[in-house]
A and B are shown apart, each in its own frame.
Chain A
């Protein structure tokens, strides 16, 4: 693989590294194209996405685009504009298109093969491995940070459709905090029916843009109008406002959203009622009493 930066390039503040996370979940795309109201298939989506990748590369000759697919059973790199230049010399549009398509086809086939075993599980609510793809994107961005004092401004764009996988919560939050620490905004474009709580939080915490397009047929316009703008230009533009994010927690016992609850001091599990014993870590709460600290407060005041 060619090294990332051959002799020092002049990176101005509008040069971007855009890591696009692509949801290739066949269950999601299957249901989306089958619904009568919306006829939007994966190939139609690619018709919007690939021109968008090209236009990003056109915006600035130093712009750098990386595509990562998040499938049902695996995640993988699909396209990297830095290495693509090295292999065929010129950046021809058909070459970009065919490379993305062929690698994507490979990936989807492999993903299907890998996932064979446990796809018997509830297919309707099958989530894609968003946490893995996000982790890969962040690792790649760290490599760009390491490449030298000057580097393109990185950001992540998530094109997500499938529902959130609750089992990924901790991993996704870890990745979001890491992105926040390295000041990488996570933009998200939700293609599915419902809002994604993961992506809302990701964009809110990292200062990215969250958008759920009304008209999927106009996806390319949404892409170019909102997600193509570099971080420098965003300060001058009126982009979609951050939506109010619900930061209330849901309890571990009934999965209800609560605004007041009990938290285990050992493992931070959340419960809606006072329990005798923590169901997660097994701590015994019988000798302590939660009212104790309230009394302390009173005596202090």
Chain B
């Protein structure tokens, strides 16, 4: 089978575009044996790569992952040139899911629809993790009409549950109907909120009742930022929509690429100044109720013992934060919710790549371990690449680099120093 993989690989290299046709021929023309199909379906040749001497080696997933991550990080860092970036932290996002006939295609495994719904599940969780003060709502398009599944809300679980119950696809997709519906609902959002639409589009066409250009123009006027993640080919109307409204248009290559593209929409985008008016929002910081006190909560209308929070304005009992008070409409949060968003405003500077050659020259043998996890940097896998923080000059291994920028949002080196603290401006 290795030979087969080899052959396919080389074919793929020199043929490029032809390759796909050939595959189709193979699939359609010849009837494959079951064991052959297993290999063809898993695309086992894609997990191999050629090294300098032409030998096949298993793909070095770790280094590829890191390269991906570096690209993402640098792109994020380079976009806003100024030091003070404004981010749209309070987002009102409608997630539009295309459940037309095209979503039942199985070019993504197991099918486009399953992939999309799984992706939405991870996305919604990640979204609320990164934007605790934001709201999300779900809209589906099928049979030529758009239908709102869930209202703008703050709890991920209920949203996901509703979507999982509605996973059927049929009919055509209509971009215009979806945009009109979402535009209608987003009109009620407060002026400080950032209005966004994220469309997961499987179809190659759109069946509209009227002129979609007018709808796009209206979206632009209403300051709705529209983004599209495509699952088939690039479509002009989607590209035009995103360009006009300041969103981003990306088309997925495969399953993992789709996930990656989708999750790129989870961190708050750089704010477009005129899109949302800066405003002071009145918020309440409720205290936890004392243990053993019985009260009826306003969200479930049930008597509950202990726990819960009390709205500071109208004294209604609420089960969970963050939320909006059912009675007086006050936004209720706790200070950790605000703190969860601060890392978007004070991002860790990207680390510089350092090769081990450079290290030996400067004779820093003593610090040959990663400052974060104490792993020795000398014989770390096949790569001899490390990174160093431009501020504190400490060395880190690639794994720590990723962890620091993706999850921790602190540089352990800078935090272990008294001077040049990056948060001085904050206090």
Contact = CB atoms under 8 A, between A and B. Distances in A.
Interface of B: 84, 86, 89-90, 129, 133, 188, 190-193, 271, 276-288, 290-291, 312-313, 321, 328-330, 333-336, 338-343, 345-346, 369-376, 399-400, 403-404, 407-412, 415-419, 421, 423-424, 426-427
Given A167-B424, A265-B278, A205 B336 contact: yes
5 contacts: A132-B416, A247-B321, A265-B281, A288-B192, A288-B277
B288 A247 contact: yes
A170 B290 CA distance: 28
A246 interface: yes
Given A278-B280, A294-B282, 8 more contacts: A117-B419, A132-B415, A132-B416, A139-B373, A140-B374, A142-B399, A166-B427, A171-B415
Given A73-B418, A169-B339, A173-B340, A135 B280 contact: no
B280 A265 contact: yes
B403 A265 contact: no
Contact of B372 (A140, A175, A285): A140
Contact of B415 (A114, A129, A142, A271): A129
Contacts of A177: 336, 339-340
Contact of A131 (B369, B415, B419): B415
Give the interface size bracket for A toward B: 35 or more
A249 B338 contact: yes
Given A177-B340, A182-B407, A260-B313, A143 B86 contact: no
A263 interface: yes
Contacts of B334: 247-249
A80 B343 contact: no
A206 B191 CA distance: 35
Contacts, number: 225
A268 B277 CA distance: 14
Contacts of A174: 339, 342-343, 408-410
Given A167-B423, A178-B407, A260-B285, A173 B339 contact: yes
A261 interface: yes
B284 A132 contact: no
A123 interface: no
A245 interface: yes
B281 A290 contact: yes
Contacts of B278: 264-266, 278, 283-285, 288
B417 A73 contact: yes
B408 A170 contact: no
Given A136-B372, A136-B412, A170 B407 contact: no
B287 A139 contact: no
B279 A265 contact: yes
A268 B341 contact: yes
Given A146-B399, A178-B409, A170 B415 contact: no
A261 B285 contact: yes
Nearest to B329: A297
Interface in A189-228: 201, 205
Contact of A285 (B280, B335, B346): B280
B284 A74 contact: no
Interface string A268-301: 1011001100101101110111101110111011
Interface string A228-260: 000000000000000011111110000000111
B325 to A, nearest CB: 9
A261 B404 contact: no
Contact of A170 (B279, B312, B423): B423
Nearest to B413: A132
A21 to B, nearest CB: 12
Contacts of B375: 1, 143
Contacts of B415: 75, 129, 131-132, 135, 168, 171
B374 A259 contact: no
Contacts of A285: 278-280
B373 A143 contact: yes
A167 B279 contact: no
A181 interface: yes
B264 to A, nearest CB: 19
A287 B285 CA distance: 26
Contacts of A11: none
Interface string A27-48: 0000000000000000000000
B336 A293 contact: no
Contacts of A265: 89-90, 192-193, 276, 278-281
A103 B97 CA distance: 58
